[in-house]
Structure 1
């Protein structure tokens, strides 16, 4: 009996079929002096030389920007490494010195040259 029920469900009844509908379409009248919008490709075309010059200028600006960035990051890394080394030296001298000895201040002038 289960096979017969599946066959009946497979074919949809004619009442449930989608009905055809018409769509509403709007028309507009063009003015008498209508000029189509066409981009003037010929005037805006750039020559290969201009394109090359523009790309070189873009590369130059990018290179200058990255050079400045590398310089600043290098300075920051050198300064932090110097401070880390001074901190480690200070900590080592504190642990190796006797308890009664007082360690003087840290010399950061060595880092300022970086």
Structure 2
């Protein structure tokens, strides 16, 4: 009889019936007399402390943004130089006559091979 009741609880309730609401068990414990809470109460800050804290926060934010600007500037300068070098190389390639291009290309490859 107990096994049948357990199977009924495990099965999903029929669509027409709603599941009954049940209460949960709550356990209480008695605290000792010398109980000290773990959360410390914060003392109210004075206006001077608040302004000092805000200024420190602003300084940190300013330093962080300065660092980001510096890194972004470096990345943009490098990519700009690469773009300019590529455009100059492409322009020189298109401006040279086709007969001279084959000799220039072979000379460049020989020079690059001798460096290595």
Q: Could you tell me the TM-score, scaled by structure 1's length?
A: 0.55
Aligned alpha-carbon RMSD (Å): 3.3
Unpaired runs of 5+ in structure 1?
1-11, 106-114
Q: Could you tell me the TM-score, scaled by structure 2's length?
A: 0.54
Of Structure 1 and Structure 2, the greater helix share is in 2
Match of 2:51 in 1: 49
Aligned pairs for 1:1-114 (under 5 A) are: 23-42=24-43, 45=45, 47-94=49-96, 96-98=97-99, 102-103=103-104, 105=108
Unpaired runs of 5+ in structure 2?
1-15, 109-116
Cα deviation for residue 59 of structure 1 reads: 2.5
Q: 1:70 to 1:36 in 2, by over 3 A?
A: closer
SS in structure 2 at match of 1:58? helix
